[in-house]
Amino acid sequence: MIIKILGSAAGGGFPQWNCNCSNCADVRNGAPGFTARTQSSLAVSRDGKDWVLLNASPDLRKQINDTPELGAQSSGGLRNSPIKAAVLTNGDVDHISGLINLREMEPLAVYGSDRVLTVLAQNSIFNVLNSEKVVRRELKLGEPTKLSGTEAMLGITVEAFPVPGKVALYLEDASKGADFGTVEGDTIGLKITDTETGKYFFYVPGCADLDAPLARRLEGAALVFFDGTLFDDNEMIDAGLSAKTGKRMGHISMSGPEGSIAAFEKLGVARKVYVHINNSNPVLNENSDARKEAEAAGWSIGYDGMEIRI
Ligand SMILES: [Zn+2]
């Protein structure tokens, strides 16, 4: 299986268009140790020809143009696309709005939880994806599903499972208490398996807490892509960027006794890669103490174009 990080940043990307925090200013100015990043998405393929998107970010058009395997192929017809399916992990703007880039009448299968498919159905702009070409399929939680495009099987099996999280920001309902109306299926993780070889990896780009069921599931895995939104729970507040903690945004932070670095320490995961990294995160500076701390604990900081084969 070939896995490519198309976008390693969280919502807003890096730099974020309206942000003048020190990270965004440094990457904008070309400071050494900083690399620009697009918004959250991976691509996976069994054979290097047919591809599956894991989330569809607003930067998808750039990501496709930066990844020749994903654009129209010279061996295909006048118009063609190697992207046969897209799997969505939640209804966040940075994970679904890229679908609108795929409106030019190519066959596509879109997979999501019942909750996420409902969001698509309720937002009529997604009807630009012509239903004669684009099918929407429910990904039932806990049921391994063999992915297919609109025509052929793709050799990849996906199992979606609920992870602690929060409903998308634009769907929050303050009248529904401290969790803003979050229900199971609002945020899911994916186990992605090569149907033929049985090799698998996990993709968990949004996660509020590494609770016991999730820890058990990830234990001993060969490869996990995990939520790297913030380094410190108070980082957005300390930088004067926002009044929200990471917890309030539905994201576990990297550092501290309750952070993901500590939580993964005993899980025996062979390869750990942070994705969905917010522009405020100090690990984006290659020379920072935070970067050294994450790398010393065995983590890779994901970057756009990173390719892993399993
Ligand atoms: Zn910034």
Q: Give distance in angstroms: CA of 239 to centre of ligand 1.
A: 9
CA of 162 to the centre of ligand 1 (A): 30
pLDDT of residue 281: 97
* CA 208 to ligand 1 center in whole angstroms: 21
Both structure tokens of 49: 């020809």
Cα(22) to centroid(ligand 1), Å? 7
Task: Give me ligand 1 centre to Cα 271, in Å.
Answer: 28
The pLDDT of residue 74 is: 93
Residue 92 has pLDDT above 90, yes or no: no
CA of 57 to the centre of ligand 1 (A): 18
Distance 21 CA to ligand 1 centre (A): 4
How many angstroms is it from 266 CA to the middle of ligand 1?
32
Instruction: Determine the average pLDDT of the residues in 229-252.
Output: 83
Query: What is the pLDDT at residue 26?
Result: 98
**What spacing in Å lies between the alpha carbon of 41 and ligand 1's midpoint?**
19
**What is the 102 CA–ligand 1 centroid distance (Å)?**
28
19 C-alpha vs ligand 1 centroid, how far in Å?
Answer: 5
Longest dimension (CA), the chain: 55
* Gap between the Cα atoms of 184 and 149, Å rounded: 27
**How far, in Å, CA of 36 to CA of 292, rounded?**
19
Arithmetic mean of pLDDT over the chain: 92
pLDDT at 169 over 70: no
pLDDT band of residue 168 (cuts 50, 70, 90) is low
| CA 280 / ligand 1 centre spacing (Å) | 5
CA of 116 to the centre of ligand 1 (A): 28
Query: Where are any strands of DSSP class E within the chain?
Result: 2-7, 41-45, 51-54, 83-87, 108-112, 134-138, 145-148, 153-162, 188-194, 200-204, 223-227, 271-275, 299-301, 307-309
- How distant, in Å, are the alpha carbons of 117, 161, 167, 183, 186 from that of 180? 19, 21, 7, 9, 12
Rounded distance from Cα 234 to ligand 1 centre (Å): 15
